[in-house]
């Protein structure tokens, strides 16, 4: 049982105040987009002052436990983050394990440096992820039913002007139609780019509407303000708009097209930095590889089930073997810390007192703990605790 110190990521879309506020730190004025807790080699957390990946290289089995060490080759299989979006993130998808391994090997063979801007695969791992809202959190998740998308665009008053661009949504069956329109959108240029402003302008007249139409209109206007003229806004109109309330979570599997628009959340993912972008970004976009990875399937987004597994202890179950997540609500009476293997706990809003093997570790708001496989711990206190561990 040790303290673990997260690493800041100052991406331009981040909030300058939200994460410092949660961590009890003074804001510096620069955007603080993510706070990483894990052992990814690009920004490993510090354990006893040493990079976590280096600590695992010498103590891996005792920290991870035999099952995790053998399943994942001595690597911590997940990465936990605080995420605070003031501006929308790129529209993106992530690969499954087979795609990641093949893509990483292919770019290595081609001699593309891992840190090169044009690099698509930065490691050989998949990147399923779960997002759990700390504040109301707005995002795009998966493709909406094509026919319903056309209906909403008719309500916005832009279906006729979009014409041939969206015609396949009613003329062809689901997946093929979505793939055709999505590819067309990603390659749109010249005079057709005026359609981006047309859609945003029309949406601005519907931001006070109720239900799905209002949600879509507000999202499109928000994207237009952040990325004026970006073709990714037309891709966004194909996706479901989702608002998570605090404590609600959503799972995004491989191939799910998504974007986070605004809010603060805990994010847990497989230990990967593989992102295939489709718009709303100045970074590299590999359209061909994105089209291979994305699952063109219309589906309603659904919230993760949150199961009570003990006194004030809740489990966010996913299908990912790399990670699972729990929430422990505040309380003075000690409760058992769930899970096995190497677990990372982040304390929000108060304090937390951990006890294991006769030792006690007291944490304040914004501090984090690494529980090793052998640590059978209890926790109490006024803080809200989010805890991640391997999903096996």
* Max CA distance (Å), the chain: 70
Phi (first) and psi of residue 378, to 5 degrees: -120, 160
Neighbour count for residue 234 (Cβ, 10 Å): 27
Residues 6 or more apart whose CB falls under 8 angstroms from that of 313 comprise: 326, 327, 328, 329, 335, 336, 338
Q: How far is CA 127 from CA 151, 272, 311, 335, in A?
A: 33, 6, 31, 31
Give the C-alpha separation, 335 to 338, whole Å.
Answer: 9
CA angle 342, 347, 349 (to 5 degrees): 165
Residue 277 falls in the annotated catalytic set: yes
Residue among 372, 341, 328, 339 nearest 1 (CA): 372
Catalytic residue among 7, 71, 122, 277: 277
- Whole-number Å distance between alpha carbons of 291 and 285: 11
In the block, tokens 């991870």 appear at 64
Contacts 24+ apart (CB under 8 A), 59-65: 62/372, 62/373, 62/374, 63/342, 63/370, 63/372, 63/373, 64/341, 64/342, 64/373, 64/390, 65/340, 65/341, 65/342, 65/372, 65/373, 65/374
Q: What is the dihedral of CA 99, 103, 106, 111, to 10 degrees?
A: -170
CA distances from 147 to 23, 150, 195, 301, 311 (A): 44, 5, 20, 17, 45
Burial class of 358 by CB neighbour count within 10 A (0 to 12, 13 to 18, 19+): exposed
State the catalytic residues.
Answer: 277
């Amino acid at each position: 049982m040790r303290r673990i110190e997260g690493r800041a990521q100052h991406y331009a879309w981040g909030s300058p105040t939200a994460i410092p506020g949660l961590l009890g730190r003074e804001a510096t004025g620069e955007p603080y987009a993510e706070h990483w807790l894990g052992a990814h080699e690009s920004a490993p957390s510090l354990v006893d002052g040493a990079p976590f990946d280096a600590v695992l290289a010498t103590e891996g089995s005792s920290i991870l436990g035999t099952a995790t060490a053998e399943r994942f080759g001595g690597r911590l299989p997940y990465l936990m983050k605080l995420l605070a979006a003031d501006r929308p993130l790129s529209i993106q998808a992530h690969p499954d394990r087979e795609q990641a391994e093949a893509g990483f090997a292919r770019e290595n063979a081609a001699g593309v440096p891992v840190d090169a801007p044009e690099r698509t695969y930065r490691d050989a791992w998949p990147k399923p992820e779960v997002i759990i809202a700390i504040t109301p959190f707005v995002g795009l998740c998966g493709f909406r039913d094509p026919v319903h998308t056309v209906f909403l665009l008719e309500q916005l008053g832009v279906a006729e002007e979009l014409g041939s661009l969206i015609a396949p949504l009613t003329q062809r069956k689901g997946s093929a139609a979505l793939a055709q329109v999505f590819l067309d959108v990603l390659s749109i240029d010249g005079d057709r780019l005026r359609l981006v402003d047309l859609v945003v302008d029309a949406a601005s007249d519907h931001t006070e509407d109720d239900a799905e139409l209002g949600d879509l209109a507000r999202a499109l206007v928000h994207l237009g303000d952040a990325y004026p003229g970006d073709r990714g806004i037309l891709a966004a109109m194909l996706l479901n708009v989702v608002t998570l309330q605090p404590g609600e979570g959503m799972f995004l599997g491989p191939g799910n097209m998504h974007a986070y628009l605004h809010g603060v959340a805990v994010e847990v993912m497989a230990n990967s930095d593989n992102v295939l972008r489709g718009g709303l970004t100045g970074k590299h976009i590999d359209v061909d590889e994105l089209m291979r990875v994305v699952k063109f399937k219309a589906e309603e987004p659904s919230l993760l089930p949150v199961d009570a597994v003990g006194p004030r202890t809740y489990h966010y179950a996913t299908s990912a073997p790399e990670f699972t997540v729990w929430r422990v609500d505040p309380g003075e009476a000690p409760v058992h810390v769930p899970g096995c293997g190497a677990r990372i706990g982040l304390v929000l809003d108060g304090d937390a007192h951990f006890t294991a093997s006769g030792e006690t570790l007291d944490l304040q708001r914004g501090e984090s703990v690494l529980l090793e496989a052998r640590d059978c711990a209890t926790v109490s206190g006024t803080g809200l605790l989010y805890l991640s561990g391997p999903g096996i």
